[in-house]
Each structure stands twice: as C-alpha cells, then as structure tokens.
Amino acid sequence: MVELEKISANIRYTLCDVSSKTSTPHLGSCLSCTDILSTLYWQVLNVEPQQPKSKDRDYFLLGKGHAASALYTTLAYRGYFPIEDLYQHGSDGSQFEEHPGIHAPAGVETVSGSLGHALSLASGMALSAKVQGLSNRFYVLMGDGEINEGTVWEAAMFAPAKQLNNLVAIVDFNKLQGTGESCEIMHLEPLDEKWRAFGWHTIRVNGHDHQALIEAFDAAQVQQQPVCIIADTIKGKGISFMENDNNWHYRIPTVDEVMMAKEELGLK
C-alpha cells in the first residue's frame, strides 16, 4: 500500500505540472480518480505495458474523458510510454489530446469526451467476449455527473439482464460536476441502492483507500452479475487548496501552486 500511495502522489504531482505547463484543465477531475486508476493499473487489471494490445488483456474505459490526463499519466507511470511525452499534451500533432482521440497511444482503448458512452461500449465488449467464450474483463470509470446521461441507465438495465459478470462499473462519486453539486442538480442518492435495484452487485467504498479498493475489486471477480463500485471521492484530492473547490474543474495552476502541491504531496 505504501507503494501505491507513493505512485499516486507522483502521478498527482505530474498531473499538476503537466496542467500548469500545457494549460490542461480538469485537474480536480483527474485528482479525484487518481487512486482508483493506480489501484486498477497496479493491482487489478491484467495488462502488459510492453504488449498493450495482447489478446487476453483486461480493458479499461474512461467514461469521463475530460480526465484524460489522469489516464495518460497513469499509463506513463505504468510504463506504456515515457513520462516526458506527457508534456506534448494538447500541442499540434500530439497523441495526447484533451479528450482521448483515435491517435491516443496504445493503452487507451476508446475515444472519449462525450459523456455517457463508455458503459454502453463496455457492455457491448463484455457481451461479445461472453458470446465468444473469452476471459477478458471490462472496467469502466464514470463521473457522478456523467451518470446523469440516460444512456448510462439504459446500459445499467441491459448488463444485468445478460449477466455480464465480466463488467465492472466504477462511479467516481466526488459530489461535484461541471457547474454545481451533483446531488442538487440530480437526485442521485442513495446511489448504491439505485445500482443494486438495477441488478448490479454494488459495493460502496472510500475511493482514496487503496486497500478498500483492492478488496472491492477482488470481490468483483467472483460475482454472477455485473458489479458497480461506488467510490466516494474528493474532487481535487491530495492538494488542500484544490479539494472540493470546483474552480479546479477549469483552473490551471501557476508555477508556485505546483510547488505548493509538490510539498503537500510530500515529494522533494
């Protein structure tokens, strides 16, 4: 766990630094799901960075595509490509677009950026894999604003009907979305009860507790139904002056703020 915490701290620092140097927004959104991504990529997913297209790999789909930087940075630390490459973010001709496009580096499975597509894409993948008798597993990360989209709930009704137990949905439940509080804009709670009622094996965890996340993902392996993990998170997690401040949905940190962040993360 110590290791995962250290990895996550480094990822958080790089997220701040890349955001500052390349003017990439959505930092709060990225920090919110950092621990979920590090847990997945170091402890859960069957992936090989050297063979990103291996046939038996597990698939991770980022529904909240505006947090692309969190995915790119996690992949870089996991060894898919050099960390320095992240600094090409958003420049002309770059693979690292503000939302993952078709030129994104191997390891990024699908295009994202229009919210509410990923659970449906993954349901189709999971269904196809089952029909073919394949053993791949499919993980989807969605924002709590993203699940406003009707398509999410269409997939939520479909997947249990076909017992897609190779599918895991994770909701990054940070209580904030683009312009306000998620539970005020839409009636979300009790969110775990909702998914349960839709037929998902549902687990609610602290989305910044690596051990709790690992246990939830372990439990997800042995279910007969699709699994939904409601991860209670904090937007901007890890940097005190960003936590729960939705200005960091768009704001870019200054050089000084990046230094302050580095210190708070306990990095030299």
Contact residues for another protein (CB under 8 A)?
A: 65, 90-95, 97-99, 101-103, 111-116, 145-146, 148-150, 177-180, 185-186, 246-247, 249-250
Query: Segment contacting ligand TPP (CB under 6 A): 35-43, 84-92, 172-180, 259-267?
Result: 172-180
Residue 47 or 67: the one with the smaller Cβ distance to ligand TPP is 67
CB-count burial class (<10 Å; 0-12, 13-18, 19+) for 205: buried
* Nearest one of 228, 244, 240 to 191, comparing CA atoms: 228
Site for ligand TPP in 181-220 (CB under 6 A): 182
Distance, CA of 264 to CA of 238 (rounded, Å): 8
Q: Which does 208 bind (CB under 5 to 8 A by kind): ligand TPP, another protein, none?
A: none
Question: Nearest distance from residue 96's CB to another protein, in Å?
Answer: 9
Question: Nearest distance from residue 39's CB to another protein, in Å?
Answer: 26
- Binding ligand TPP (rule: CB under 6 A), the pick from 100, 143, 226, 236 is 143
One DSSP character per residue, 4-51 reads HHHHHHHHHHHHHHHHHHHT---HHHHHHHHHHHHHIIIII----TTS
DSSP-based three-state secondary structure for 56: coil
Distance, CA of 148 to CA of 25 (rounded, Å): 22
Q: Which does 32 bind (CB under 5 to 8 A by kind): another protein, ligand TPP, none?
A: ligand TPP
Query: Segment contacting ligand TPP (CB under 6 A): 79-87, 139-147, 212-220, 255-263?
Result: 139-147
Query: Segment contacting ligand TPP (CB under 6 A): 51-59, 127-135, 141-149, 195-203?
Result: 141-149
DSSP-based three-state secondary structure for 3: helix
Query: Segment contacting ligand TPP (CB under 6 A): 39-47, 170-178, 196-204, 256-264?
Result: 170-178
- Binding ligand TPP (rule: CB under 6 A), the pick from 35, 109, 172, 257 is 172
How many CA atoms lie less than 13 Å away from 35 in the CB half-sphere? Answer: 26
**Alpha helix locations (H) across 141-190?**
150-161, 182-185
Question: Nearest distance from residue 82's CB to ligand TPP, in Å?
Answer: 27
- In the sheet with 201-206, reading across from the earlier edge strand, the strands are 59-62, 138-143, 167-173, 227-232, 201-206
* Cross-strand bridge partners of residue 74: none
CB 109 within 8 A of CB 61: yes
**Alpha helix locations (H) across 135-209?**
150-161, 182-185, 191-197
Site for ligand TPP in 9-48 (CB under 6 A): 29, 32
Residue 132 or 247: the one with the smaller Cβ distance to another protein is 247
Site for ligand TPP in 43-102 (CB under 6 A): 64, 66
Question: Nearest distance from residue 31's CB to another protein, in Å?
Answer: 18
Contacts of 36 (CB under 8 A, 6+ apart): 141, 170, 172, 207, 213, 231, 233
- Please report, as ranges, the residues that interact with ligand TPP according to CB under 6 A: 29, 32, 64, 66, 113-116, 143-146, 172, 174, 176-178, 182, 235, 249
